[in-house]
Each structure stands twice: as C-alpha cells, then as structure tokens.
Amino acid sequence: MSGQYLITAYIIFVMIKFKDMLNKFSITIVFISLAFLFGFRFSPNVIPIGSQLPMPDLKMKEVRGKEVSMKDCARKNGLLVMFTCNSCPYVRKNQERTQAICTFAMQNNIGVILLNSNEEERESDESLEAMQAYAKDQNYSWNYVVDKFNKVADAFGANRTPECFLFNSSLNLSYHGAIDDNPADGDNVTRQHLKEAIKELIAGKEIAVKESRSVGCTIHRRGE
C-alpha cells in the first residue's frame, strides 16, 4: 500500500508541475487510473422500498458459533436487519439506541439480525473474536453475524454502519435508513424513524417515513 501512496504522490507532483500543459481529458485519465490503482469501485445501489429480502437463506457464522440465515431470524411480524460493527464511533454513539430498538423489535415479534460486513478489518478490530467480545459486552440477545466477503452488504447496497433495513411479515422492505434523525447526538433526537416505522408496521398503517439518510462509518469492504 505504501508503494501506491508514493506513486500517487509522484503523479500529483507531476500534475502540479505541468498543470499548464495538461488538458481536462488528460486529468480525467489520470484520476481514472488512480481509481483502478487503488481498487476503488462504485458503491452498489441500495435496494428500493418494497424489495424482497435478498439472500434470505445464506448461512452466516454467528458469534455463538452457529450458522444462521436471515430467514431463520425472521419472526411473525418481520425482520430487522442492521449493518454494524465493533469499532465505528457512530456505532458506539448509537449503542444504547441499538439496544433499545432491537429489544423493541423483538417485543413486537420482529426478528433481529446484526451483520458485520467489515471484511477489510476481519483480521483485527472486526474479527469473529472481537465480535464475540463486543456482543458479550453489549449483552446482545439477538444474532450478530459475519457477512463473509460482504456478500449481503453488496446485495442490499448497504454502505454505512449503522444502517437499518426493516422488512414486513412478507419480507418486503418497509423502511431503510437510520435509527433516528440525529445519529450523532442522542440527546437531540426529534424523531425515532425506525421505532415509528415498527409501530406503523405492526398497526397495519402506511409508514410515514420510509427512508432516511444513514449517517455513520463506511463499510470497509475487502480491498477498499
């Protein structure tokens, strides 16, 4: 990786030195080349509201050692899928809110599964062992699984931690986004988007806010 940074620094130096000689086309080619050099890729498109649960039967390793699928975790009234991790500051800011909303979902007969898709850090902060320690510290009573090769994150188009997807009893997407309207500051929340969506879903009502912006850390996919 250090070699890549050296190459990038050299290219930027050359661009600055000879900027008057470079046209827009040349600059575009340089940046496209840098994108390929670092293995960048465009973020996958997020699944739209109404979509069927992707990859429902894929088995994933859970922190207690068993293999579970999202379909296994679904309950009578639906399923809450949350992409999360151990180390993101936004995840840690949302710890109490994560506990509260997951508990609320299960109390309303909605299953819960948390996915860790940070494959780039799987040998360090996001290892299975680190996940086990974090789940124990947080007293998780729901499934926390390894999304190997970030297959599920790619299928969902998920990009952030935390990022929530609420599915109804038919496993169609009913809400996507943040837990509430202030992920950075729990003391200044004015609307609990996910909780309201769950209440409306259970009551058979139209969900007023179907999508909100997920604010958090970028999912660290392999090679990114």
Q: Where in the chain are the domains?
A: 2-38, 60-218
Among 34, 19, 143, 155, which residue's Cα sits nearest to residue 82?
143
Cα-Cα-Cα-Cα dihedral sign, residues 157, 159, 162, 163: negative
Instruction: Give me the pLDDT at residue 29, please.
Output: 45
Token digits for 126?
């996001």
Tell me whether residue 9 is exposed, middle or buried, using C-beta atoms within 10 angstroms of its C-beta: 0 to 12, 13 to 18, 19 or more. Answer: exposed
Instruction: Give me the pLDDT at residue 4, please.
Output: 37
Q: Are 162 and 98 in contact (CB under 8 A)?
A: yes
Instruction: Give me the pLDDT at residue 19, please.
Output: 56
Q: Are 164 and 187 in contact (CB under 8 A)?
A: no
Which CATH number does 60-218 carry? 3.40.30.10
Low-confidence ranges of the chain (pLDDT < 70): 1-44, 224
Instruction: Give me the pLDDT at residue 177, please.
Output: 97
How far from the centroid of its chain's Cα atoms is residue 81's Cα?
9
Instruction: Give me the pLDDT at residue 21, please.
Output: 57
The pTM of this model reads 0.80
